Each structure stands twice: as structure tokens, then as C-alpha cells.
Amino acid sequence: MSTGASPPLLKIHRIDKSYGSTRILKSCSLEVAPRETIVIVGPSGSGKSTLLRCINLLETVDAGNILFDGRDLTRERKAEHLVRQQIGMVFQNFELFSHLSAVENIMLAPMTVSGVSRHDAHDLAMVLLNKVRLRERADAYPDELSGGQQQRVAIARALAMKPKVMLYDEPTSALDPEMVSEVLDVMAELSAEGMTSLVVTHEMGFARRAADKIVFMDAGEVILTETSEQFFSGTTHERARRFLDQILH
């Protein structure tokens, strides 16, 4: 977790995003310091996932700036290559290649994007599988793994590029309830080790445990940013309080 004293590694400044005449993000701003974990919460349709997709350049912004490690991703021509190497993303659905084993899924990007040798990529993948507690399933294919196991492989795959930031887009929403904790535990451990993380989730237990800050979004806007303690011990924002009352009861 962050000490709170570092300048931002990631800075989102007044970004807008529309699909046709529908405005999805409205002048959203956010800062993430190195080693900080920020959890983004809010009602469905509030723009949380779109915000992550814009940060990862899966969507283009209509206005505003995204600064990563001092570089403007919205203006730099080679930004996409930088993002693919240094910003990891874990999706709701695991997006694993079904014809590759767990270890091969993790090896692929280091070999094809970074030119890592097959031997070194395999060694790295085994270290990461051990980290997510799946070393013994290295040779299993996705359809031989539970949903929770597949998502942990997806986390290991994102980590294989040694990213500076991890983005998680509702990573447990497609899982059966009994599999949720095994994924959240891995994410919490990574945050505790200092991985800068931005997490969209409805799992308030994880948010309370792992987040340095909570960002609350509604109707495409960042409504407030508070420390986890402030948010859960009694946020003064009426809309955020109503959201918490609904989701915790």
C-alpha cells in the first residue's frame, strides 16, 4: 500500500467519453500514487469499466488527458505499446486461450511482446503460478480449471509483463460465490506487496481490507475520493451513503 507521499504514477485529467449521443464519462479526474490501491465503486452503468478501458487504451477518450509515469497516453503515438507492457488488465471474463495450457497462456506475452526466450518465459510463468497458488495446475487447459483458477491464471498472465499498474475490471463478477475469495486473496496479497492497483468491484469486504482510497462514481462522474476508513466509517456524501446502505444490507 502507498504511504501517500509519492507523486502520481497515473493521472486522469477531465476525460470525457461518449458513445453516439450518450455521454458515458463526464470530465472524470483521478490520481493514483505508486504502491496505492484504489477501489472504484458505484451503481451499474456509472462508467467504472469504461474508465478502466480508457486508461488501458481499449477505448479512446473524446477529451482530457491520461498521464502515466509522466507520459501523456492520449497524445503519444507509441502509447499503446507502452500500455501493453506496463499496464496489466484483468477482465470480468478470463479471456484465456482455450488451446493453451495455463503455463503457456502466461508465457505467450513475454515471448511475443518482449522477446523473452521460451526457457526464461517458462521459468517466469512457473514462479507466477506458484504466486497465485496454481503451480500444480501448470499443464491444465482452461476448460479443466474452475472459474476461480482461470481468473488466477489471468492475473498471473498480466503479471508476466511485470507491469507498473494492475487494472481489475470486476474480476470476480463471473465467479460462483465460493470461488470469489481465492481470487480476492491473491489481489489483496499483491496490493500488500506494493503493486499499484485500480480495481472496479462490488466486493466491499475487499475494498475495506485492501484499498487505500475509495472512488465513488455515479452517472459517469467521479463524485468523491476518500480514504477507505473515511468511506466506510461514515462518508458524508449522501449519494454514496445510499449506495453503501443498499449494497451492505
Read off the CATH number of the domain in which 225 is found.
3.40.50.300
Q: C-alpha cell of 197?
A: 492497483
The answer to the question of residue 244 being in a domain is yes
Q: Is the separation of the CB atoms in 12 and 31 below 8 Å?
A: yes
The answer to the question of residue 66 being in a domain is yes
The answer to the question of residue 198 being in a domain is yes
- Judged by DSSP in three states, 160 sits in coil
Q: C-alpha cell of 50?
A: 469504461
Alpha-carbon distance of 178 to 40, in angstroms, equals: 23
The answer to the question of residue 120 being in a domain is no
**Model pTM score:** 0.92
Q: Are strands 63-68 and 165-169 parallel, antiparallel or unpaired?
A: unpaired
pLDDT in tens, 171-191: 998 888 888 999 999 999 999
Q: C-alpha cell of 116?
A: 523473452
Q: Is the separation of the CB atoms in 103 and 59 below 8 Å?
A: no
Q: Which residues pair with 197 in a beta bridge?
A: 37, 166
Q: Which domain holds residue 84?
A: 10-95+164-248
pLDDT in tens, 10-49: 999 999 999 999 999 999 999 999 999 999 999 988 999 9
* Residue 178 vs residue 5, higher pLDDT: 178
Count of domains for the chain: 1
Run of H or E including 84:
helix 79-86
